[in-house]
Amino acid sequence: MSSDQKIAIVTGSSSGIGLETAIHLAKNGFKTYATMRNLGKSDDIKQRAQTENLPIEIAQLDVTDDDSVKTAINKIAEKEGKIDVLVNNAGYAVIGAAEDLSSKEIKDQFDTNVFGVYRATQAVLPTMRKQQSGRIITISSIAGFSGFPAMSAYVGTKFAVEGFTESLRHEVAPFGIHACVVEPGVIKTNIMKAAPIAKRSQEENSPYSDIIQAIGKGMEGAMKAMGSPPSVVAEAVLQAATAENSEIRYTAGEDAKMLQQAKKTKSDKEFEEFVKTGFLDQLTNN
Catalytic (active-site) positions: 154
**Where do the H-state alpha helices sit in the chain?**
16-27, 43-51, 66-80, 103-110, 116-131, 152-172, 191-194, 199-202, 209-226, 231-242, 254-265, 268-275, 281-284
Residues present in the chain in total: 286
The rounded distance, in Å, linking the Cα atoms of 108 and 62 is 13
Sequence-distant (6+) residues with CB within 8 A of 96 are 105, 150, 153, 197, 198, 200, 201, 208, 212
CA distances from 101 to 83, 95, 144, 150 (A): 38, 9, 20, 10
- Coil, strand, or helix at residue 78? helix
d(CA 98, CA 107): 13
